[in-house]
Amino acid sequence: MLDPWERQPKGSPLILTGDGESAKAHAAFMDYARMGVAHSLRDLAARYRQAVVNGQSTPPTTKWTTTSKWSHNHSWVARAAAWDAEQERLRAVAHRQAVEDLARQDAERGRSLVAMAERIMERANQALAVLRPFQQEFVDEHGGTVRVLKSDFTPGDVANLGRAVAALLKAGSDLQRLALGEPTEIVGQRELEVRAEALAEELGIPKEEILVNFQEYRSRRGR
């Protein structure tokens, strides 16, 4: 069975009088349908006349009376409505697929960030395991010996690393929650980038190592 916007043969219930739809009549109908919700026979005829004046093409007709006759005899209004509905359906399908694809990519990116945080934690634990505190001796003003326990890895370093890992885990978790449609306090891509830059500074590593995740995330949105 033909769709309403296809060229209709003789005997089609959409052809009210005469033979089947001619090639010119169908071409004019498709131009009418593609005008969108603002379908207008007069505007279509005016467009055809302007095309002739500009030497752009040879349209199916330049007469409003002809487009009006085709519209009545070939059920243009009903067929254009069917065309509009089909275009809307196709747009909805494409949008839904794009959202699903983006959600899947966001989930993968979130898992990547969480895995990065776990690798950092593992390396930090390995570093802490081999560090050995050492003592330094000082002579105070009274001539006594003062022994001080020191380490190359200070409590501040541990705290900074902990905050960095926690923030990275949060960013990865947020991306995965966004992919599932769950609420999160992350409100935009720029905040993610700022967080990545802060993490890179705290960890003392090239920011590209972290930002690569966010750059791909941003490029998929065309930002």
Q: What pLDDT is attached to residue 46?
A: 94
Is 14 domain-assigned? no
CA distance 112 to 110: 5
pLDDT for residue 217 is more than 50: no
* pLDDT band, very low/low/confident/very high, at 186 (cuts 50, 70, 90): very low
Say yes or no: 192 and 107 in one domain. yes
Shared domain for 116 and 215, answered yes or no, is: yes
Show the domain range for 103: 98-219
Share of residues in the chain with pLDDT > 70 (%): 62
Of 27 and 207, the structure prediction assigns the larger pLDDT to: 27
Lowest mean pLDDT among 12-21, 85-94, 166-175: 166-175
Describe the crossing of helices 23-33 and 76-130 by its angle, rounded to 10 degrees.
50
> Which residues have CB under 8 Å from 183's CB, separation 6+?
177
Residue 93 lies in a domain: no
Domain co-membership, 59 together with 113: no
pLDDT band of 64, cuts 50, 70, 90: very high
Q: For residues 173-182, give the mean pLDDT.
A: 68
> Could you tell me if 205 and 148 lie in one domain?
yes
Angle at 83 between CA 82 and CA 89, to 5 degrees: 90
Burial of 84 from C-beta contacts in 10 A (0-12 / 13-18 / 19+): middle
Q: Mind listing the pLDDT tens digit for each residue in 4-61?
A: 999 999 999 999 987 899 999 999 999 999 998 889 999 999 999 999 999 888 999 9
Exposed/middle/buried for residue 113 (C-beta within 10 Å: 0-12, 13-18, 19+)? buried
25's tokens: 């009549």
* Domain contains 42: yes
Specify if 79 maps to a domain. no
Asked if 134 and 57 sit in the same domain, the reply is no
Residues 34 and 124 in one domain: no
pLDDT, tens digit, 9 for 90 and up, residues 127-163: 666 555 555 666 667 767 666 555 555 656 666 666 7
